Amino acid sequence: LQRLEHPKFRRFAAHETAWQLAQPLCEGRTVHLALHGVAGCGLTAIARCLVDDLEQTLGERYREIVSMCGECSHAMGDAQPYGPFQKALAHHFAIELLAAPESKLSDIDAALGDVFESVVPFSGILFPPVGNSAGGATSADEIVSSVAWMIRRICKTKPVVLFIDDVQWLDEASKTLLRHLLREFPVNGPAQVAIIVTSHEQTVLRKLGFAKSTRLEVPFPAREEQVQILTDGIGLNNAAAEQIVNRMGSTIAAQGGLVWLQQIVATLARADYLVATEYGFDLRDGQWPRDGQIPEEIRDVLLEQLRRFPQYRTIIDCAACACYAREFRGSIVAVALGIPRLELLRELDCSYRETRILY
């Protein structure tokens, strides 16, 4: 379980391509990089590993690298203005955002020190003014100008890496700010700035202003790569990893991604179905457990899909009862339903093509 919480990152072709696109920063040029792909394909892991690699490489040349990392929250209703930028800036300047409002402003003043000389109070991006208060920036233009000014000032002496995760959920104020930064620091410009984002929607990246040459699609890991993630990243032996990947199947894996893959391993570990061996963790007795449980997160998704396809509910229920974590013959379900085996196979094929639940 500890290995699951902190798995070792396994570099594949997508990471190497992303590294090549980020290399100009090491030469003092501006970088834009937008990673996109389906949910669960490893976007965040690749981006964070890339930021770490940039810090390590540039750290050999500069005394300090400024990394600002924020993520967008998938929340219902209106998102908090400048949410991911608040997180990124607060993380960099070690500002406690949950403190009382009065102490917040004091913390900002202390954290910024002599760095800022702008006539626009930079704290406006973190704490918008209330009523007629004069303690913050008075317009969106002042806020975006202040942030751009701050980044430009810092990058004169040290590289700046700005990483925003899940920009498909970006609030409108943050979209405006990000567009401004992309224009203020154009690709291959002289500023030592890297703007890196991830998104599960490519259309969002185009609307934000990321050129096609700066967008990189990250494919879902192939079967062999999934096995390597479980062996090299988590510590399973090859036989156990292959069994787990084969059990998930390509269609199920594509729905839940690497998150589901880890959840299945975590469920097996909690149930004591994994044992340590000389060559890594293996399934107990080398066999898939006959009474293995489906993780709740996966079960909830499958149940929701069942509600969308009521015409297949009976046949899928019968299949589930017959095969509960076991291999089974189609004739068993055919007998249970009282239909010819060929008709059953036709119905199973239709349900697979439409629902992707049975594999």
State the pLDDT confidence band at 306, using cuts at 50, 70 and 90: low
Which residues are paired to 32 by β-bridges?
195
**How much is the pLDDT for 107?**
55
Does 191 have pLDDT greater than 50? yes
State the pLDDT confidence band at 31, using cuts at 50, 70 and 90: very high
Write the pLDDT tens digit of every residue in 229-252: 888 888 889 998 898 888 776 555
Dist. CA 137–CA 304, nearest whole Å: 46
* CB atoms near residue 73 (< 10 Å): 12
Cβ atoms of residues 34 and 25 within 8 Å: no
Dist. CA 67–CA 160, nearest whole Å: 6
Dist. CA 199–CA 186, nearest whole Å: 20
**How much is the pLDDT for 178?**
96
Write the pLDDT tens digit of every residue in 202-232: 999 999 999 999 999 998 888 888 888 888 8
**How much is the pLDDT for 116?**
44
Cβ atoms of residues 47 and 200 within 8 Å: no
Task: Find the range with the poorest average confidence among 27-36, 146-155, 160-169.
Answer: 146-155
> How far does the chain reach from its first CA to its final CA, in angstroms?
28
**How much is the pLDDT for 292?**
59
Cα three-residue angle 336-338-340, rounded to 5 degrees: 115
pTM of the model: 0.70
Average pLDDT over residues 29-45: 90
**How much is the pLDDT for 121?**
46
**How much is the pLDDT for 251?**
53
Kindly provide the b/e burial profile for residues 169-179, where b requires at least 16 CB atoms within 10 angstroms of the residue's own CB: bbbebbebbbe
Does 76 have pLDDT greater than 80? no
CA atoms in the 13 A half-sphere facing the CB of 67: 16
**Residue 349 burial (10 A CB sphere; 0-12, 13-18, 19+):** exposed
Count of positions (residues) in the chain: 359
**How much is the pLDDT for 115?**
47
For residue 191, what are its two tokens? 């500023």
Cβ atoms of residues 341 and 331 within 8 Å: yes
Write the pLDDT tens digit of every residue in 106-163: 555 555 544 444 434 455 555 554 444 444 445 678 788 888 888 998 899 999 999 9
